[in-house]
Structure 1
Amino acid sequence: MMNLDEEKRLIEQAKNGDEGSFETLILSCKGKAYNIAFRYMNNESDALDVIQESFIKMFRHLPKFNGDSKFDTWAYRIVVNTCHDFLRKSKDKYRTVPLFSSEEEEEPPLEIEDQSPKPEDVLLHKEESAYIIGCLEKINSEHKEIIILRDVKGFSYEEIAEILECNIGTVKSRISRARNKLKEVYLANRS
């Protein structure tokens, strides 16, 4: 992970046309950016298209980057906005945005007796995870988005505020409302 001074130096060099510096900046956030796009798109091909489009936007708008936030936070905001644009353009194709593939392969339990989960525990955990993912699909996209950013990807309140371009109070209230709505859907479908 690069420090802030190194990041500022790379940003300035990239703004002056140094492609290597831009590439270094992109590589520092590429994995997390792809994971965000994949969770939104639920399709590797579309996620890669979103990432490519996002990187083009980052390169094009880098001269406007003023350093008020960290580079990766700015980059993730562009990825989220590009996902929204892509989904808006493809509404007929994407009616929902699943967080995880429903075709996940179950990993075999570990052979180490003391540390491996029991097969029934693995199955229960997988069923519970699938149920929660199904519940996420039933809440609105704003609630789903905030849960993805906070609870799935682990962004801080400050990072989410920068990504979504809103204040921290708004982030906290959205998270609270989203969790309450998810809990409501979870409990309603359990009974």
Structure 2
Amino acid sequence: MKKEDALASYLINLGEEVFRLLLAKGAKKEDAEDIIQNTFYKVYLLLDDLTERNLRPWFFRVSLNEYIDLKRKKEQQNIYLSEEIYSKLQQIDCDMNTILNNDEIFYLLKDVKTEYKEIFFLKYYYDFSYEEIATILDIQIDSVKQKLYRARKSIHSKIGGKR
């Protein structure tokens, strides 16, 4: 397999992985597709500056930042809704718990703070190192370890301390 083919295959798999994460975070399918496409474009522009080691965390970070920017932009639109309509929209909104509640671990994480849940998924579902998670979330490595510990502790308490 050519080096270019291997890179293309890797990027496609990475894009699909980040796409699923964006959907799990509540992004609309179309928004997630746009974010992934924009991130691919940025990869193309910066390909010479990216290394094998930093490509994956960089791709996640850029995609998540773009999603956050999109959410902020949508929140800043001045649309006034009645409380009744707003509450119905909140119930329809698809979030991580709704998508992933079929698996026991996701059920155990449903009441865990979002920041702990994200770190838990990045570590155990996406298999990132502490350093990569710190880079993706732009926080200290010690914070990653602390939040991951708290997520595990929360799960442990829900199962009654049994291993």
Asked if structure 1 preserves the Cα contact closer than 8 Å seen for 2:100 and 2:106, the reply is: no
Displaced runs of 4 or more, over 6 A: 91-94
* Aligned-partner Cα distance in 1 for 2:33–2:50: 27
CA RMSD of aligned residues (A): 3.8
Q: Structure 1 residues 97, 84: CA separation in 2 closer, same or farther (over 3 Å shift)?
A: farther
Any idea what the Cα deviations from partners look like across 1:78-112, whole Å, max 9, x if unmatched? 12222333444557767563267469xxxxxxxxx
Which one of the candidate residues 44, 54, 58 is aligned to 1:70? 54
Residue aligning to 1:97: 95
Asked if structure 1 preserves the Cα contact closer than 8 Å seen for 2:23 and 2:32, the reply is: yes
Which one of the candidate residues 114, 117, 120 is aligned to 1:147? 120
Q: Structure 1 residues 96, 38: CA separation in 2 closer, same or farther (over 3 Å shift)?
A: same
Asked if structure 2 preserves the Cα contact closer than 8 Å seen for 1:160 and 1:171, the reply is: yes
- Partner AA of 2:22 in structure 1: Y
| Higher mean C-alpha deviation, range 141-150 or range 41-50 | 41-50
Residue aligning to 2:80: none
Taking only the aligned residue pairs, the percentage that are identical comes to: 27
SS at match of 1:70: helix
Residue aligning to 2:17: 35
TM-score, normalisation: structure 2: 0.62
Asked if structure 1 preserves the Cα contact closer than 8 Å seen for 2:14 and 2:56, the reply is: no
Q: Structure 1 residues 172, 64: CA separation in 2 closer, same or farther (over 3 Å shift)?
A: farther
**Deviation (angstroms), 1:154:** 0.8
Larger fraction in helix:
2
Q: Structure 1 residues 99, 81: CA separation in 2 closer, same or farther (over 3 Å shift)?
A: farther
Residue aligning to 1:54: 39
TM-score, normalisation: structure 1: 0.55
Which one of the candidate residues 34, 57, 82 is aligned to 2:66? 82
* Aligned-partner Cα distance in 2 for 1:45–1:64: 29
Q: Which has the higher contact order (CA 8 A, sep 6+)?
A: 2
* Aligned-partner Cα distance in 2 for 1:27–1:87: 29
Gaps of 5+ in 2: 76-85
Q: Structure 1 residues 162, 44: CA separation in 2 closer, same or farther (over 3 Å shift)?
A: same
Q: Structure 1 residues 181, 82: CA separation in 2 closer, same or farther (over 3 Å shift)?
A: farther
Gaps of 5+ in 1: 7-20, 104-125
- Partner AA of 2:36 in structure 1: I
Which one has the largest radius of gyration? 1
Aligned length: 143
Asked if structure 2 preserves the Cα contact closer than 8 Å seen for 1:161 and 1:168, the reply is: yes
